[in-house]
């Protein structure tokens, strides 16, 4: 198998037996007055998704396999897709069977780029706050927008729904782009120096993990 | 005092409640090493490439420019002074980004014109109005720092204001003999550039040095 980067979900994300995760975002704001609570903020760069991933103890052979794929990323050089282990599927569809093979696309983008309208959902499909989604856009390099649903909504009988998202829809994302709601993945890399292959002792390798950072 | 576009002004006025999103951009016109033609390259501190209209620093008109994103562009505080000293500041970019390498290694960035714009973004992530120029200058110095393994490097450019730099140039027409003798053969400055080296001996004869006689006969009369 030839490796093609960014590594697809099946190549790495699916083989990670994630035990613990801190899935958050890194804000890139400048602040003023945070000492006296009259805080002003200005955003210096778009926020990025980040995750601290811990892997459970495992047999040496299994953990060695994971470490081999991660090393193949060559540190921060190559990217991979990581599924948020807390949001593999929408809350209302825990195994993805309702979504089935429906083709979900962006029908419209609000002018302030804080909300999107989706089409092609199953009728009356519910999206819950905290559900995640993925949109691939642009080419060479291809880019990924990993977003979070900010409000709980239900699609109409035609499978259309409008809701606010976080973060802001990138300017290059256009109407008719395909939206992935089943196992949406965030494209990113492993922060330099954070990958620990784990300590092998007795029968198990313990303490493996890494810090993931989105790459836009 | 300059008056910014009304959309920028209202965005700044609303900063307390809605916050601001500030981005920086630089446009640089390095020279093609083969043809000598200047080509525009833009970089901004956002992530995705963007094409938008900005206010040109040279004409003051709005024009469409393209910017590369995600190149770790960093613009320091720009010195604001009221005197005539030549101010300089250093912007830095990722030394690994291919577009940056193209500008600094592929093209000749020496003395290339450069414009720095500040962008005020609205909620949509697009500029509320055409970004206005913040600094116009030329590249005075550029370098690529390659760090030790595991360290952070950068490509940096030192920018100076060309208008201020030109104020420090002397006008040779007013002082040099070559300039003055064109005016009715005025030779007042004929020996002016050697007068400082003339040795004058007081109360004694000048040493007889035939191999290296003093120039212009000074002190040898």
CA distance B218 to B221: 7
**Average pLDDT score over residue span B187-207:** 82
**Average pLDDT score over residue span B140-158:** 89
Chain B contact for A43, CB < 8 A? yes
Cβ of A114 within 8 Å of Cβ of B20? The answer is no
Cβ of B48 within 8 Å of Cβ of A192? The answer is no
Q: Is the Cβ–Cβ distance between A73 and A80 less than 8 Å? A: yes
Cβ of A114 within 8 Å of Cβ of B123? The answer is yes
Q: Which residues is A22 bridged to in the sheet?
A: A52
Supply angle C-alpha A85, A89, A91, rounded to 5: 105
Q: Identify from B20, B53, B152 which residue to disrupt to test chain A contact, counting A C-beta atoms within 10 A and taking the largest count.
A: B20
Q: Is the pLDDT of residue B173 over 80?
A: no
Tell the CATH topology of A1-33+40-86+185-216: Phosphorylase Kinase; domain 1 (3.30.200)
Cβ of A45 within 8 Å of Cβ of B46? The answer is yes
pLDDT of B214 reads 57
Cβ of A46 within 8 Å of Cβ of B45? The answer is no
Residues of A in contact with B124 (CB under 8 A): 111-114, 168, 171
CA distance B100 to B142: 11
Chain A contact for B50, CB < 8 A? yes
CA distance A126 to A147: 16
What's the token pair of residue A165? 């998202």
pLDDT of A41 reads 82
pLDDT digit string, tens, across residues A153-164: 999 999 999 999
Chain A contact for B185, CB < 8 A? no
CA closest to B12 among chain A residues: A42
CA distance B150 to B27: 30
Q: Is the pLDDT of residue B213 over 80?
A: no
Those of residues 47-76 in A touching chain B at CB distance below 8 A are none
Residue ranges per structural domain of chain A: 1-33+40-86+185-216, 89-182
Parallel, antiparallel, or unpaired: how do β-strands B62-67 and B50-55 relate? antiparallel
Phi and psi of A102, rounded to 5°? -65, 145
Instruction: Report ipTM for this prediction.
Output: 0.78
CA closest to A48 among chain B residues: B47
pTM of the model: 0.79
What's the token pair of residue A103? 């083709």
A41, A111, A171: residue with CB nearest B50: A171
**Chains A, B: CB contacts under 8 A, how many?**
58
CA distance B103 to B185: 50
pLDDT of B221 reads 45
Cβ of B122 within 8 Å of Cβ of A40? The answer is no
The 8-class DSSP code of residue B106 comes to: I
Q: Is the pLDDT of residue A97 over 50?
A: yes
pLDDT of B115 reads 93
pLDDT of B212 reads 63
A30, A43, A172: residue with CB nearest B48: A172
Q: Is the pLDDT of residue A187 over 90?
A: yes
CA distance A53 to chain B (A): 22
Residues of B in contact with A168 (CB under 8 A): 123-125
pLDDT digit string, tens, across residues A123-173: 999 999 999 999 999 887 788 999 999 999 999 999 999 999 999 898 889
CA distance B39 to chain A (A): 22
Give the count of beta carbons closer than 10 Å to the beta carbon of residue A39. Answer: 13
Q: Is the pLDDT of residue B42 over 90?
A: yes
pLDDT digit string, tens, across residues A19-65: 899 999 998 888 888 788 888 888 888 899 999 999 999 999 999 99
B46, B124, B150: residue with CB nearest A113: B124
Chain A contact for B153, CB < 8 A? no
Q: What sign does the CA torsion over A67, A71, A76, A82 have?
A: negative
Q: What sign does the CA torsion over A163, A166, A171, A177 have?
A: negative
Parallel, antiparallel, or unpaired: how do β-strands B132-145 and B31-32 relate? unpaired
Model confidence band, residue B175 (pLDDT cutoffs 50, 70, 90): confident
What's the token pair of residue A111? 């002018």
B21, B70, B125: residue with CB nearest A42: B21
Q: Is the pLDDT of residue B217 over 60?
A: no
Residues of A in contact with B75 (CB under 8 A): none
**Average pLDDT score over residue span A91-99:** 90
Tell the CATH topology of A89-182: Thrombin, subunit H (2.40.10)
Q: Identify from B11, B14, B21 which residue to disrupt to test chain A contact, counting A C-beta atoms within 10 A and taking the largest count.
A: B21
pLDDT of B1 reads 67
Q: Is the pLDDT of residue B61 over 50?
A: yes
pLDDT digit string, tens, across residues B1-32: 678 888 888 888 888 887 788 899 999 999 99
pLDDT of B220 reads 47
Q: Is the pLDDT of residue B219 over 60?
A: no
> Residue A146: which of A56, A193, A79 has the closest Cα?
A79
Identical fold for domains A1-33+40-86+185-216 and A89-182, yes or no, is no
Those of residues 86-145 in A touching chain B at CB distance below 8 A are 111-114, 138, 143
**Average pLDDT score over residue span B96-113:** 91
Residues of A in contact with B125 (CB under 8 A): 46, 113, 168-171
Cβ of A170 within 8 Å of Cβ of B150? The answer is no
């Amino acid at each position: 198998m030839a490796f093609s980067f960014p590594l697809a979900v099946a190549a790495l994300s699916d083989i990670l037996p994630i035990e613990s995760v801190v899935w958050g975002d890194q804000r890139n704001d400048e602040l003023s007055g945070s000492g006296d609570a009259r805080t002003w903020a200005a955003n210096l760069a778009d926020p990025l998704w980040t995750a601290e991933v811990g892997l459970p103890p495992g047999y040496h052979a299994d953990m060695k396999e994971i470490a081999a794929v991660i090393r193949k990323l060559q540190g921060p050089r190559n990217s991979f897709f990581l599924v948020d282990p807390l949001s593999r599927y929408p809350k209302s569809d825990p195994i993805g069977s309702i979504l089935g093979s429906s083709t979900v696309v962006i029908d419209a983008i609000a002018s302030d780029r804080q909300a999107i309208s989706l089409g092609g959902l199953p009728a009356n499909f519910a999206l819950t706050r905290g559900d995640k989604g993925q949109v691939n856009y642009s080419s060479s390099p291809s880019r990924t927008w990993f977003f979070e649903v900010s409000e709980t909504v239900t699609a109409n009988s035609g499978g259309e729904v409008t809701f606010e998202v976080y973060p802001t829809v990138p300017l290059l994302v256009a109407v008719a782009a395909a939206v992935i709601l089943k196992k949406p993945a965030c494209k990113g890399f492993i922060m330099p120096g954070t990958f620990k292959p784990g300590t092998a002792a007795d029968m198990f390798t313990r303490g493996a993990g890494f810090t993931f950072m989105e790459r836009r | 005092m300059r008056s910014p576009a009304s959309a920028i002004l209202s965005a700044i006025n609303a900063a307390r409640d809605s916050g601001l999103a500030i981005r920086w951009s630089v446009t640089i016109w390095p020279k093609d090493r083969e043809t000598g033609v200047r080509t525009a390259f833009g970089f901004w501190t956002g992530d995705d490439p963007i094409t938008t209209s900005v206010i040109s620093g040279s004409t003051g008109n709005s024009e469409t420019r393209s910017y590369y994103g995600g190149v770790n562009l960093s613009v320091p505080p720009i010195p604001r002074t009221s005197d005539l000293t030549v101010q300089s500041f250093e912007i830095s970019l990722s030394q690994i980004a291919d577009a940056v390498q193209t500008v600094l290694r592929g093209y000749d960035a020496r003395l290339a014109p450069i414009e720095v714009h500040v962008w005020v973004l609205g909620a949509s992530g697009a500029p509320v109005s055409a970004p206005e120029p913040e600094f116009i200058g030329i590249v005075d110095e550029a370098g690529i720092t390659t760090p030790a393994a595991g360290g952070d490097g950068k490509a940096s450019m030192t920018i100076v204001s060309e208008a201020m730099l030109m104020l420090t140039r002397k006008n040779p027409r007013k002082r040099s003999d070559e300039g003055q003798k064109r005016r009715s053969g005025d030779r007042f400055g004929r020996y002016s550039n050697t007068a400082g080296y003339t040795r004058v001996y007081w109360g004694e004869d000048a040493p007889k040095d035939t191999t290296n006689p003093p120039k212009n006969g000074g002190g040898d009369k």
